[in-house]
Amino acid sequence: MSVQPATRDAERFRTVLGQRIGLLFDDAKLGYLGAVLQRRIEKRGRDSAAYLWELEHEPSHGEISALARELTVGETYFFRNHEQFRALAEVVLPERLRRSSGQKTLRLLSAGCSSGEEAYSMAIVAREGIPDPTWNSAIRAVDINPSALQKARQAHYSAWALRETPEDIRSRWFRAEGRQFALDDAIRRMVAVEAANLATDDPDLWRPATYDVIFCRNVLMYFEPMRMRGVIARFARALVPGGFLFLGHAETLRGVSDEFQLCNSHGTFYYCLSDAPRPSPVPSREFPPKESCEFAPKASSVRISPRLCKQDATWFDDIRLASERVATLLPMGEFCRLTGRRQVIAPQFDPALTMALLREERFAEALDHLREQSRGHDRDAEVLLLETTLLVHSGQVVPAERSALRLLSIDQDNAGAHYLLALCRDHEGDSDGACDHHRAATMLDPAFAMPRVHLGLLARRDGDHNAACREFARARALLKDEAPSRVLLFGGGFSRESLMALCDSALMDRRGQP
């Protein structure tokens, strides 16, 4: 029987992975890293000291690729986060065409392309969004995982990968081959799939002023902070003046780079280089029905009944019950301390009556009172957070999302806004979007317990019981010190004790399984 590497070897392995690949692993992953290290040692026929020395000083391309295959797993699908592709089609591409200076060339980069769905989605948008056939649209798709790249080059996908692709797009650009769907050659030819390590400063990949648009979604959140800053700096260098950058919902440039401006349209956020004016989308299309955009995914028919199971509910009905428990009115100072934001509400505004109306489930009156009292201060973070909470309580999903997005346009570090957006996404059957926003909330405020509870529920719903247990354990530990006011506002009507009991029950159920 082989002997597992010591903890110090796993820690050394973690350090070198951060240096060579840029990935960040917390202490909870040391056991997993130890297992990966053991497999690589056995595969290479080396002891741990020799293997780690080689990684630190003379790593081979083949070994880095093998580690990437083990450590990076990207689950994705076509037109994931469709709002961003609508913004690409209706704002970004028209803006870049306008500023093209007659060159008729559009260059896009999918950084961390995984198995190709993102890059090919970009290609379809460009093909359908630029009617002039004399334009040349080229997408470069790069990733470090050789297995993912092989799948991207094959361009054969399951129905599950096309689950958010409208039927007309599927019929136009895919053909059935057995149980798989093959991508049309016209789209495949637009995309060049290559191996690349985002953690390194590759002079060819990051040539100055090369790309009009870069997509790098749900990649940087796994990078060490120093490596992430380096990648963002290379993005800024490689984008043309006024170029655009799309990140994942859980990722932000706040505190990382001041070279970009935040843009907001179509219910999503993205960035453009700050030396160019921010584009203005057509107002009437800011929140159109999904069916209004040809390639936008149709609304999901999946709905989770909030009353099926208390623990597995979306909590949209449950959060309404919170009004019955808000018996303690928050004084102004406590509410500002709770939100912790930079904007300050006008001194004459007092949320006490609004909270009293909420307690009595008089949501319309509460909103009217809030808006009347905060007139002229409708861009204050505290006002928008309370408005969004009231809209969520009343089940007004679309207005709640708009209010939360306005709040994030003012303060993109607002964890409460991401948490409320996650509830809205879950109510719409968008589990991936809900997870993204819950993770964003936990990254922005590591002491925020409620997103952890919901991540546990979502993981359990997906059958990932190990992840569910980790989230429930973290949530329970955080709930001990969670501010009572925040439990009242965001706790879905549950007391601290009830929430802790929910976590305990989930953990006990898991321990009782074989």
> pLDDT tens across 39-52, in order?
888 888 878 888 88
Q: How many CB atoms sit inside 10 A of residue 446's CB? A: 11
SS3 205: coil
> pLDDT tens across 325-370, in order?
333 334 444 444 444 443 444 444 556 666 666 555 566 777 777 7
Alpha-carbon distance of 511 to 292, in angstroms, equals: 48
Classified by CATH at the fold level, domain 316-511 comes out as: 1.25.40
Query: Which carries the bigger pLDDT value, residue 395 or residue 169?
Result: 169
Class of the CATH domain delimited by 7-71: mainly alpha
> pLDDT tens across 56-109, in order?
887 777 787 777 777 766 668 899 888 899 999 999 999 999 887 678 899 999
pLDDT at 359: 58
Report the percentage of the chain scoring pLDDT > 70: 76
Contact 166, 294 (CB under 8 A): yes
Handedness of CA 402, 371, 415, 454 (dihedral sign): negative
Alpha-carbon distance of 421 to 52, in angstroms, equals: 43
> pLDDT tens across 451-501, in order?
999 999 898 888 888 888 999 999 999 998 888 777 777 876 567 887 888
Alpha-carbon distance of 334 to 355, in angstroms, equals: 13
> pLDDT tens across 373-415, in order?
766 555 678 788 888 888 887 778 888 888 888 888 888 788 8
Alpha-carbon distance of 506 to 479, in angstroms, equals: 15
The conformation of residue 302, written as its DSSP 8-state character, comes to: -
Contact 304, 312 (CB under 8 A): yes
pLDDT at 120: 97
Q: How many CB atoms sit inside 10 A of residue 31's CB? A: 11
pLDDT at 223: 79
Alpha-carbon distance of 293 to 21, in angstroms, equals: 38
- The tokens for 173 are 């650009």
pLDDT band at 136 (very low <50, low <70, confident <90, very high): very high
Length of the chain: 514
pLDDT at 305: 27
pLDDT band at 187 (very low <50, low <70, confident <90, very high): very high
Nearest CA-CA partner of 381 in 353, 437, 423, 339: 339
- The tokens for 295 are 């390639």
pLDDT at 35: 81
* Most confident among 160-169, 245-254, 262-271 (mean pLDDT): 160-169
Over residues 432-437, mean pLDDT: 88
pLDDT band at 274 (very low <50, low <70, confident <90, very high): confident
Q: What does pTM read for this prediction?
A: 0.56
* CATH ID of 82-292, from 3.30.70.60, 3.40.50.150, 3.30.70.260, 3.40.50.300: 3.40.50.150
Q: CATH 1.10.155 region(s) of the chain?
A: 7-71
346's CB contacts (< 8 A; 6+ apart) are 374, 376, 377, 380
Q: CATH 1.25.40.10 region(s) of the chain?
A: 316-511
Report the percentage of the chain scoring pLDDT > 90: 28
Q: CATH 3.40.50.150 region(s) of the chain?
A: 82-292
Contact 137, 126 (CB under 8 A): yes
